[in-house]
Amino acid sequence: MPSSLAARVRSRSELLRLALFVGAAWVLPVLTHLAGVDWLLPIVVFAGTAALCFDARELLDRIVLAIVLLAGLTAGAMTVFSLWPWGLHPVPIAGCALTALAVFWFVTGRRPSLPRPRWTDALALLGALGATALAALPYFRADGDVQLLSAMMQGEDSSRHFALFDGIGQVQGLVLADKPEAAPFVPRMLFTYPQGWHSTAAILDQFLRSADGPASSGLVALRSYVLFAVLTYGLLALALIWAAWRVPGRLLDGPRRLVVAAAVVALVAGSEFPRIIRNGYPAECLGLVFLTVLVALAARPLARYRQQALMVAATLIGVGFGYFFLLPLAGLIALVWLVRSRRQVRRHKVATAVIGLGAVVLAPFQLVYGLSYENMTDRLVIGGAPPQPLDGYVWLVALVGAGVLSAAAWRSRVWRGYLLSVAAAAVFAVGIAAQNIAAGSDFMNYYFGKTVHALLVIFTVGVGALVLLLPAPWRVRVPARRQWVPAALLSLALFGVLGVFFGGGVLAQPLAAQGRSITWAALFRQGPPVSPRAAQVAAAAQEYPPLPGVTSVAIGATGFDSYWMNPFLMGLQRTAGSGQFATYGLPHKEPLRAEALLKRFPDRVRFIATDPEGARVIRDLLTRRPELAGRVTLVTLPGVE
Same domain flag for 603 and 542: yes
Q: Cα-Cα-Cα-Cα dihedral of 383, 384, 387, 389, to 10°?
A: 100
pLDDT of residue 154: 86
Same domain flag for 473 and 584: no
Any domain includes 230: yes
Q: Is the pLDDT confidence value at 386 over 80? A: no
Q: Which residue has the higher pLDDT, 587 or 460?
A: 460
Q: Is the pLDDT confidence value at 444 over 60? A: yes
pLDDT of residue 603: 84
User: Region 465-482: what's the mean pLDDT?
Assistant: 79
Sequence letter at residue 252: L
**Domain of 601?**
532-636
Number of domains observed in the structure of the chain: 2
Q: Is the pLDDT confidence value at 388 over 90? A: no
pLDDT of residue 432: 85
Sheet holding 550-555, edge to edge: 550-555, 604-609, 632-636
Reported pTM: 0.94
Same domain flag for 272 and 198: yes
- Radius of gyration of the chain from Cα atoms? 26
Any domain includes 275: yes
Least confident residue range of 309-313, 363-367, 546-550, 637-641: 637-641
CA 489 remoteness from chain centre: 33
Residues 6+ away with beta carbon under 8 Å from 231: 132
Any domain includes 22: no
- Residue at a domain's end among 477, 509, 541: 509
556-603, pLDDT tens digit by residue? 988 888 889 999 999 999 999 888 888 888 888 888 889 899 988 888
Q: Is the pLDDT confidence value at 2 over 70? A: no
Same domain flag for 270 and 141: yes
Q: Which residue has the higher pLDDT, 540 or 216?
A: 540
Any domain includes 71: no
Any domain includes 624: yes
Distance CA(226)–CA(136), nearest Å, equals 9
Q: Which of 207, 221, 228 is nearest to 89 (CA)?
A: 207
Any domain includes 479: yes
Any domain includes 236: yes
For residue 174, give Cα distances in angstroms to 198, 243, 332, 365, 576.
9, 31, 27, 12, 16
Highest mean pLDDT among 183-187, 308-312, 624-628 belongs to 308-312
Q: Which residue intervals of 527-628 are DSSP H helices? A: 532-543, 559-573, 592-600, 612-624
Q: Is residue 420 within 8 Å of residue 301, measured between CB atoms?
A: no
Q: Is residue 263 within 8 Å of residue 463, measured between CB atoms?
A: yes
Q: Is the pLDDT confidence value at 300 over 80? A: yes
- 244 confidence band (pLDDT: 50, 70, 90): very high
Same domain flag for 611 and 493: no
- 514 confidence band (pLDDT: 50, 70, 90): very low
pLDDT of residue 495: 87
Same domain flag for 492 and 560: no
Distance CA(239)–CA(243), nearest Å, equals 6
Same domain flag for 560 and 483: no
pLDDT of residue 418: 96
Same domain flag for 484 and 539: no
339-348, pLDDT tens digit by residue? 999 999 999 9
User: Region 84-101: what's the mean pLDDT?
Assistant: 95
Same domain flag for 454 and 558: no
Same domain flag for 498 and 560: no
Same domain flag for 445 and 565: no
Mean pLDDT of the chain: 89
Same domain flag for 329 and 455: yes
